[in-house]
A and B are shown apart, each in its own frame.
Chain A
Amino acid sequence: MDYKLQVQDLNVFYGAMHALKSISLNIESKRVTALIGPSGCGKSTFLRALNRMNDIIEGVVTTGTILYDGKNVYNGYDEIELRRRVGMVFQKPNPFPMTVYDNVAYGPRIHGVKRRREIDEIVERSLRAAALWDEIKDRLNKPALGISGGQQQRLCIARVLAVEPDVVLMDEPTSALDPISTARIEDLIYEMKNRYTIVIVTHNMQQAGRISDHTAFFLDGVVEETGSTQQIFFKPTNPRTEAYISGKFG
């Protein structure tokens, strides 16, 4: 198995609160891994640990090992470079208060891309990859905050893709979207997995079932069960997993 991320004995503390307890979980390359579990179980904390986003929260202590392409994320990478390669899409679309074009161009520019033609190419390629180009190509100079919520979320995905990441972390990316926009994002995730490793936190069990290859069930800071999504949704081995995915718990 080709693992993009290998997590060993990961512990995360928010002050005295032990949020993640000895998590060991491998993330397969170019697959979609869904993290499911009730609120407060540690899914998002785990996701943020993967690109060291927890480091910016005061009082957080992290122990254990996270290997990305075999190198420890804590000493093998510059954290800015790590976050370029392991990008993140958040629950609520958060475009910058600038034009559609500038939102996508922002990342490449701060990473040193200066030539206009090159930036134009990156913007078009990223918006196409995020399945937004056809809808937005005539409005590139309009404010990003003026487009629909579903389009804003795809713009945020385009913004991540513009800096050519390797892994895309998604924290409930469709929870604020209507069913049509959700379906577009799900189709996009399905296409993206040919090129990227995707880890997605979702509270929507059917979404996890539809789009992911692997599923990990978190509960109280522990991975209760992990396996192929088919196995988890057809015959989970842990009764707590079954109770959770069938909506009888959590």
Chain B
Amino acid sequence: MAVPRIHFSESLKALNQEILKMGTLVEEAIGKSISCLIDQDIELAKKIVDDDEAINQKEIDIEDRCTILIATEQPVASDLRHIITALKIVTQLERMGDHAVHIAKAAIRLSEEVYMKPLIDIPKMSEIVIKMIHDVLTAFINSDADLAIETAKMDASLDKLHHDVMTEIWGYLKADSRYVKQSTSFLFISRFLERLGDHVTNISEWIVYSNTGRHVELNRIGYYSEESDAEGNDSHS
């Protein structure tokens, strides 16, 4: 009795695959941006900047795909929510790709510097971000709102590490003014990684919307909300 709309179902699966591909590109770009920062690999950093074009193009392709599905298939209910969520997710992923570029550009600026200390917390932050991206994409593909909510909870670890990095760098700045350039760059990089966690949280919120039709605000009060407010942080914008 049940007659699936085979073509539409296949189109939705293909849409999911494209988002997965875009997410994988972003995940790789972030991982590589931290690698080139650690290794001071200027060539890899330049490649990340160049490769961002592919992520931007993927966003456009997926948006067009969604537009055509809405126009030709007139989706309703969960199908409609899924497509709207896909549109929202690609916007977040594109911005995340931009953050990878910002980190890579910082790596280029720091490529001739002798680092004031070994990088410890920043690589930890990148590992958390990459796991969050991986998990949130799994949650999207499997329509798993619970996993999306659990993924968003990991954002608190990023906020704490960002706080730790800031505190440490302020200490270095007070002690030795030679480190102003490095310190500023590392502060920004930490901030980019913290923002990546916010973008993943936004994606999690859209997955919950897709599954339930409800708008939720996950991690409204983050670990370091006071500091964030002091920075004028629009943490979940």
Contacts and interface: CB of A to CB of B under 8 A. Distances in A.
A186 B2 CA distance: 30
B3 interface: yes
Interface stretch (A14-22, A80-88, A238-246): A238-246
A174 to B, nearest CB: 16
Interface in B68-94: 74-81
A248 B76 contact: no
Contacts of A209: 76
Contact of B3 (A206, A235, A245, A249): A249
4 nearest A-B pairs in the assembled complex, by CB-CB distance: A235-B213, A233-B76, A242-B77, A247-B5
Interface residues on A, range: 10 to 19
Given A234-B213, A235-B213, A205 B5 contact: no
A217 B136 CA distance: 35
A149 interface: no
A243 B5 contact: no
B1 A245 contact: no
Contacts of B77: 233-236, 242, 245-246
A233 B2 CA distance: 19
A248 B6 CA distance: 9
A243 B2 contact: yes
A218 to B, nearest CB: 15
Contacts, number: 40
Interface residues on B, range: 10 to 19
Given A234-B76, A235-B212, A249-B2, 20 more contacts: A209-B76, A233-B76, A233-B77, A234-B81, A234-B213, A236-B77, A243-B2, A245-B76, A245-B77, A246-B77, A246-B78, A246-B79, A247-B5, A247-B8, A248-B3, A248-B4, A248-B5, A248-B9, A249-B1, A250-B1
Nearest to A245: B76
Interface string B1-20: 11111001100000000000
